[in-house]
């Protein structure tokens, strides 16, 4: 089993360009698995972890409700935001500057074949990272992602998650609000959940800006531990 994970930080990148790139890596892994099965070979399949920051964009999962986007096309343009229907699970979510987005594209046959466990590990990675900043983050029963003050009237979501998996290969991932303009969440019903707020790490810490590179490194450390993975940094031009 190949537990090496190629780490690529794409910087600020258009959502559709990044989605196409994810699809290409996803197809590469799936095609390798199909070839292994057909030829009864045992060639290693690669794993990837992409970091990216997107310009303002709203994405709707395959089971989502378009009514959870509260603005029309003209209003989106006024906000310099785009919109895409995509092939992950979950409802509507927002990506934008100041948000750390991570897309693990893993062959889970290299780790464990359990999507539920995979999602819980991604949540745990974020929970452990936020604990390093003195925040008690938690899961909310029946709701994927990471929250603060669960079970109180002040419950608020700090990290959204949505994944796709086929032949035990994953794509899409998580979006952690670090220095995010929360005003953009007012233009939608986050994940289709009407009664809960969203928050960002800088707001919770009472800071103007949090060091995003530091947060990224903490996330990666916990990812490596939880998945027993070895990250290999690779520069890329997409």
Q: Residues marked as binding for substrate?
A: 88-95, 160-162, 173-175
Contact between 163 and 88 under an 8 Å Cβ cutoff? The reply is yes
* Among candidate residues 97, 119, 92, the one with its CA nearest the CA of residue 108: 119
* Among candidate residues 36, 8, 190, 35, the one with its CA nearest the CA of residue 104: 8
What is the rounded distance in angstroms from the CA atom of residue 165 to the CA atom of residue 101? 18
- φ/ψ of 84, rounded to 5, equals -140, 140
Exposed, middle or buried, 226 (CB in 10 Å: 0-12/13-18/19+)? middle
User: Helix, strand or coil for residue 42?
Assistant: coil
What is the rounded distance in angstroms from the CA atom of residue 232 to the CA atom of residue 226? 16
- Which residues are known catalytic residues? 191
The annotation places the binding site at: 88-95, 160-162, 173-175
């Amino acid at each position: 089993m190949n537990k090496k994970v190629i780490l690529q930080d794409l910087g600020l990148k258009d959502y559709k360009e990044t989605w196409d790139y994810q699809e290409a890596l996803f197809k590469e892994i799936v095609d390798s698995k199909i070839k292994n099965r057909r030829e009864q070979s045992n060639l290693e399949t690669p794993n990837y972890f992409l970091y990216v920051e997107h310009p303002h964009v709203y994405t709707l999962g395959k089971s989502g409700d378009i009514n959870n986007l509260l603005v029309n096309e003209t209003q989106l343009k006024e906000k310099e935001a785009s919109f895409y229907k995509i092939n992950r699970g979950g409802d509507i979510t927002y990506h934008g500057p100041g948000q750390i987005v991570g897309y693990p594209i893993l062959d889970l046959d290299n780790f464990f074949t359990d999507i539920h466990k995979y999602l819980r590990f991604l949540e745990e990675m974020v929970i452990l990272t936020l604990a390093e900043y003195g925040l008690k983050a938690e899961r909310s029963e029946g709701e994927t992602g990471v929250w603060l003050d669960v079970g109180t009237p002040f419950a608020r979501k700090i990290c959204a998650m949505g994944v796709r998996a086929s032949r035990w290969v994953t794509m899409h991932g998580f979006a952690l609000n670090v220095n995010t303009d929360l005003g953009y969440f007012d233009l939608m019903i986050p994940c289709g959940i009407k009664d809960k707020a969203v928050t960002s790490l800088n707001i919770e810490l009472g800071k103007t800006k949090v060091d995003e590179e530091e947060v990224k490194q903490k996330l990666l450390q916990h990812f490596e531990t939880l998945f027993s993975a070895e990250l290999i940094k690779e520069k890329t031009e997409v």
